[in-house]
Homo-oligomer: A and B are copies of this chain.
Amino acid sequence: MSPVANRRDLDFLLFEVLGLERLLLEPRFAAYDRTSISGVFDVVQAIAESEFLSCAPKLDTNEPRYVSGRVEIIPEVKRALDACAAAGLFGAGFDESVGGLQLPTVVTSLSTGILSCANVAVANYQFLTVAAANLIQTFGSERQKELFLAPMMEGRWFGTMCLSEPQAGSSLADIRARAEPMEGGRYRLSGSKMWISGGDHELSENIIHMVLARLPNAPPGVKGISLFVAPKHLVEADGRLGATNNIALAGLNHKLGQRGTTNCLLSFGEGGETVGYLVGEAHKGLAYMFHMMNEARISVGMSSAMIGLAGYLYSLDYARTRLQGRSVKDKNPYAPQVPIIEHADVKRMLLAQKASVEGALALVAYCAMLVDQKAVATVAQDRADLDLLLDLLTPIAKSWPSEHCLEANKHAIQVLGGYGYTRDYPVERLYRDNRLNHIHEGAFGIQGLDLLGRKVRLEGGRALDLLLARVRASVIEARAVSAIIGEASLLEDALKALEGATAKALSCEDPERALANATLYLDAFGHVVVAWMWLKQATVAATAENQIGCDQDFYAGKIIACHYFFRYELPKALTQLALVGTLDTTCLSIRPEQFIGR
């Protein structure tokens, strides 16, 4: 088994569960078939194993340093990213017409996931560049595309997202960076941006920053934010690099994990002019950014799932070989010790990891597939439906993996025991790396507000109706399968609980109270959706034709993991939904001075 991907599971997910082959029949993806998609993953896996995985511990121990005005990063990082670029992975998802490989999003997303499984801190540079390039491709002018897109898709120039500021993280309404018009349709940018991943380094020839800032006299709040593109080095009309654009590295943040990704405080327009170019229309920057953010959020979920997978695969391998203890039935002290995978509680910790990781992976792959289905949909109503469904699932796809695959990483440490707590094994690093995913790209609590405060209310709740219809279709299918007939009923019950809690929250006229338990709602909703993903997988596994040999083991494992999820996990969601349904005000009611007394 490769330590960076479970290819059997990827095949199962893409070809047996999600029906990628049907998508590949669409003209947009006609260049690909199952074999060539496998070839893409072969290439990605080879790069991930040889270039990404090998330097992960070294990069974690030797994080980027700021040395006399430059960022120093161990050379392996550039080599790894150059290998990605050479394989065309920066442009893999872009249209052929602009020089891309026009691969389905589900494939490019999983490809980045494989890189993240090996070394998320390096994969981030690729992911951020693709996200920035996507933004230019979607909203940029023809001139901006001409100037910036090709070198980004070639992996020669990298990209960033400059949203947060020291005083404005979760509250983007409060950003203060300014953009003043200059001659020639250019803007003079000023202000500070905080938490900028990949904000400075020498890995690429240039860095293309996508910057949120306010025009003079812009309205306050979110309606006065515009989007600008600002390169680290100015770009001449012929594409050559010009003078510095005065985007200064004011400091590197030193993080708990994902240490190899530089995380920067950037200063714009100090010590010289910083030039930016307006992307799209004035004051619409946040909406544009959220277009990108939605895909970025699915990618965060992918990253969480794949960091979880890394810990799962490692601890599974360890559990198979580490001898310790005997069966509780065996009282003979002369008996040899058994591999710890024979102990029920170790099995539980591995099964918990499998259920979270493969469940999360199915969810994010499902969402990525919706993006592809939207891209090929010919009927406007279908596109609108897919959009709504994506809107609804995005906060869940971002958040659920970040919580439960972090828990998986916690289990991976536990399987290794004391060894897992040392820096000689990768599982502690994975645990540190994954902790970020609760926080960036919209913190966990923010996603809850988005889901309960906005997404389930869209178009009178139509997004939820669309989702429920899809889940109920799966329930009907599963009812015909004896191995999971009980799980089908449990999911039906959970749907009713979800509908009930949603209706209660929406009926509450006090917005503060209605949203007081939004985070619990998000987590519970995620459990219901992942239960659905497990029901879908188990339905396929139980009815698969090739029930022999190692495939039989694989399918049996899927069914057991489904049982595990429904028995050990889903009930937690029901207790949470019951609480949400009471509109409980315990948390809302406590006053700051009551926490500890004085």
Q: Can you name 26 A-B pairs with beta carbons within 8 Å?
A: A6-B596, A6-B597, A169-B324, A220-B333, A253-B424, A254-B424, A313-B596, A345-B449, A347-B590, A351-B595, A414-B438, A414-B439, A414-B443, A421-B436, A421-B439, A550-B597, A551-B597, A553-B591, A553-B598, A554-B597, A554-B598, A557-B595, A560-B590, A560-B594, A567-B579, A568-B584
A348, A410, A422, A595 pick with most chain B CB within 10 angstroms? A595
Asked if A512 is at the interface of the complex by the 8 Å CB criterion, the answer is yes
Chain B residues whose CB sits within 8 angstroms of the CB of A8 once the complex forms: 596-598
18 new A-B contacts, CB < 8 A, other than A173-B325, A329-B511, A575-B575, are: A1-B596, A1-B598, A164-B418, A168-B324, A170-B324, A195-B418, A220-B334, A256-B413, A320-B592, A341-B592, A350-B595, A351-B586, A414-B445, A417-B443, A551-B597, A553-B597, A560-B589, A564-B586
Shortest distance in angstroms between A102's beta carbon and chain B's nearest beta carbon? 31
User: In the complex, A553 Cα to B587 Cα: how many Å?
Assistant: 15
Q: How far is the CA of A572 from the CA of B520 in the complex (A)?
A: 13
A278 within 8 A of B: no
Distance in angstroms between the alpha carbons of A572 and B517 in the assembled complex:
16
User: What 1/0 flags go to A327-355 for Cβ under 8 Å of B?
Assistant: 11100011001010111111111110010
In the complex, chain B residues whose CB is within 8 Å of the CB of A320: 592
* A431 interface residue (CB < 8 Å to B): yes
CA distance A450 to B421 in the complex (A): 23
A50 to chain B, nearest CB (A): 22
**Residues on B with beta carbons closer than 8 Å to the beta carbon of A168:** 324
- Output the least CB separation between A163 and chain B (Å): 11
A520 to B420, CA, bound (A): 22
Check if A518 is an interface residue, CB within 8 A of chain B: yes
> Chain B residues near A94 (CB, 8 Å)?
none
**A420→B443 CA distance, assembly (Å):** 12
Q: Which residues of B contact A567 (CB under 8 A)?
A: 579, 584, 586
Q: Which residues of B contact A592 (CB under 8 A)?
A: 319-320, 339, 341-342
Contact of A16 with B by CB under 8 A: no
**A105 and B58 alpha carbons, distance in the complex (Å):** 46
CA distance A171 to B185 in the complex (A): 72
Complex Cα spacing A152 to B327, Å = 40
Closest Cβ neighbor of A403 among chain B residues: B410
Is A70 located at the chain interface by the 8 A CB criterion?
no
Contacts of A343 in B (CB 8 A): 445
| A374 and B326 alpha carbons, distance in the complex (Å) | 35
Are A351 and B587 within 8 A (Cβ)? yes
> What's the minimum C-beta distance from A544 to chain B, rounded to whole angstroms?
12
Question: Which chain B residue lies CB-closest to A560?
Answer: B590
A515 interface residue (CB < 8 Å to B) = yes
Give the complex CA separation of A11 and B559 in angstroms: 53
Q: Could you give, for residues 554-598 of chain A, a 1 whenever the CB lies within 8 Å of some chain B CB and a 0 otherwise?
A: 101100100110011001101100110000101111111111111
Confirm or deny: A221 has a beta carbon within 8 angstroms of a beta carbon on chain B: yes
Q: Quick check: A595 and B348 within 8 Å, CB to CB?
A: no
Residues in A149-177 with C-beta less than 8 Å from chain B = 164, 167-171, 173-174
Q: Is A316 an interface residue (CB 8 A)?
A: yes
In the complex, the answer to whether B417 meets A169 with C-beta atoms within 8 Å is yes
Does A445 contact B345, Cβ atoms closer than 8 Å? yes
Nearest residue (CB) in B for A519 is B345
Give A399-454 interface residues, CB cut-off 8 Å to B: 410, 413-414, 417-418, 420-424, 428, 431-432, 435-436, 438-440, 443-445, 448-449, 453
Residues of B within 8 Å of A584, CB to CB, are 567-568
Complex formed: what's the CA distance from A316 to B345 in Å?
A: 36
**Max chain B CB contacts within 10 Å: which of A167, A345, A571?**
A345
Q: Would you call B417 and A439 a contact (CB within 8 A)?
A: yes
Task: Tell me if A560 and B572 are in contact (CB < 8 A).
Answer: no
Is A324 within 8 A of B414, CB to CB? no
Q: How far is the CB of A521 from chain B (nearest CB, A)?
A: 11
When distances are taken between beta carbons in the complex, the residues of chain B under 8 Å from A344 are: 512, 515-518, 587-588
A9: Cβ under 8 A from any B Cβ = yes
A563's partner among B329, B517, B586 (CB-CB below 8 A) is B586
Q: How far, in angstroms, from A342 to B516 measured CA to CA in the complex?
A: 12
Q: In the assembled complex, which residues on chain B have CB atoms less than 8 Å from the CB atom of A313?
A: 596
The answer to whether A179 has its CB under 8 Å from any CB of chain B is no
Q: How far is the CB of A166 from chain B (nearest CB, A)?
A: 9
Partner of A588, one of B219, B347, B554: B347
Q: A369 at interface (Cβ–Cβ under 8 A)?
A: no
A20 contacts partner chain B, Cβ-Cβ < 8 Å: no
